[in-house]
Amino acid sequence: MSTGQRVLVVGAGGLGSPVLRLLARSGVEHITVIDDDIVDESNLHRQTLYTAGDVGRSKIECAEQVLRKLSPELSVRPVEGRFLPGTAMELLTGHTLVVEGADNLATKFLVADAAHLCGVPAVQAGSVRWAGWALCALPSSACLRCLFEDIPRDRIETCAEAGVVGPVVGVLGGLQAALVFRLLRGEHPGGELWHYDALKGALRKTFIRRRSDCPLCAGEIQDLRMERYTAACAA
Ligand SMILES: [Zn+2]
């Protein structure tokens, strides 16, 4: 793995926890992590960075402590807040890639758009109940909008409402970390879509191609206008 790699992690929850733990000693030089939440007892089963003693504390503060203990030589920048259209590009600048573990679709689309506009790979994932997916999008490969088109106009369930199973996000976070390792080693897993169904015990890899009418890949999306991300901005 080459040196000087800088990774931005959006979300320090169920997906971000395993991703951050696995990246801490991977040889990356720097991790920026952004989250605006506090540690909640009802999330401890899946947010494995935190302990019962952290309940009520800022996630980002706890995450920084864990990362510094795991790897004292790692450069860490904790950012308390949300990943928003106004600051997305500035946050992404200077990073080798972005890993997204947000709990709502609006942020997932924002990360996809910002990464594409910055020319930075994005490793994204999502899960509901017993199943989930992980996607590696390169500037030259299919993106999240090739997969899901757009944020649903009708209101969708948040993670808290739908329920998220701890081991499912653990597996998906591990898959995200593996994709990151491969990217940092110089591989090009762009367009790889991993799907995990815990009830069926099935892990499947497919390859998605660019959709001819994808507005992001076609260059129709050239900025991050807030209204594009407010339709389903739950949580
Ligand atoms: Zn696309």
Contacting residues for 65 by C-beta, under 8 A, at least 6 apart: none
**β-bridge pairing 30-35 and 97-100:** unpaired
With pLDDT > 70 as the criterion, what percentage of the chain qualifies?
A: 91
Residue from 62, 118, 136, 159 carrying the catalytic annotation? 159
What pLDDT is attached to residue 156? 57
pTM here? 0.93
Query: Ligand 1: distance of its center to the CA of 188 in Å?
Result: 16
CA of residue 74 to ligand 1 center, whole Å: 33
Q: How far is CA 137 from the centre of its chain?
A: 12
Who wins on pLDDT, 227 or 63? 63
SS3 assignment, position 175: helix
Strands (E), the chain: 6-10, 30-35, 75-80, 97-100, 122-128, 131-137, 192-197, 202-207
Exposed (0-12), middle (13-18) or buried (19+): which is 37, by Cβ within 10 Å? Answer: middle
Indicate whether 1 belongs to any domain: no
- Predicted local confidence at residue 157, as pLDDT: 60
127 within some domain: yes
Distance 218 CA to ligand 1 centre (A): 7
Residue 73: which CATH number? 3.40.50.720
Give a yes or no: residue 12 inside a domain. Answer: yes
User: How are beta strands 75-80 and 97-100 bridged, if at all?
Assistant: unpaired
Residue 233's pLDDT is 44
pLDDT, tens digit, for every residue of 14-33? Answer: 999 999 999 999 999 999 99
- At residue 232, the pLDDT reads 47
Report CA(62)–ligand 1 centroid distance (Å). Answer: 35
CB atoms under 10 Å from CB of 163, counted, come to: 11
| Stretch 44-56: mean pLDDT | 96
Q: How far is the CA of 222 from the centre of ligand 1 (A)?
A: 13
As a whole number, mean pLDDT of residues 155-172 equals 76
Split at pLDDT 50, 70, 90, the class of 234 is very low
Residue range of the domain that includes 44: 6-229
Overall domain count for the chain = 1
Structure confidence by residue, pLDDT tens digits, 183-197 = 999 999 999 999 999
Say whether pLDDT at 162 is over 60. Answer: yes
Give the distance (Å) from ligand 1 centre to CA of residue 149: 8
List residues bridging with 122 in a β-sheet: 98, 137
| One-letter identity of residue 44 | L
Mean pLDDT rounded to a whole number for the chain: 92
**Is there a domain that residue 64 lies in?**
yes
pLDDT at residue 226, rounded to an integer: 85
Q: What is the pLDDT of residue 163?
A: 76
92-116: average pLDDT: 96
- In this structure, is residue 69 part of a structural domain? yes
Whole-number percent of the chain with pLDDT over 90: 84
- DSSP 3-state of 204: strand
Q: How far apart are CA 78 and CA 70, in angstroms?
A: 15
159 catalytic? Reply is yes
Are residues 102 and 10 in contact, defined by beta-carbon separation less than 8 angstroms?
yes
Tokens of 67: 């990362």
Question: Does residue 234 lie in a domain region?
Answer: no
Residue 38, pLDDT > 70, answer yes
Task: Determine the Cα–Cα distance for residues 232 and 180; give it in Å rounded to an integer.
Answer: 28
Q: How far is the CA of 227 from the centre of ligand 1 (A)?
A: 19
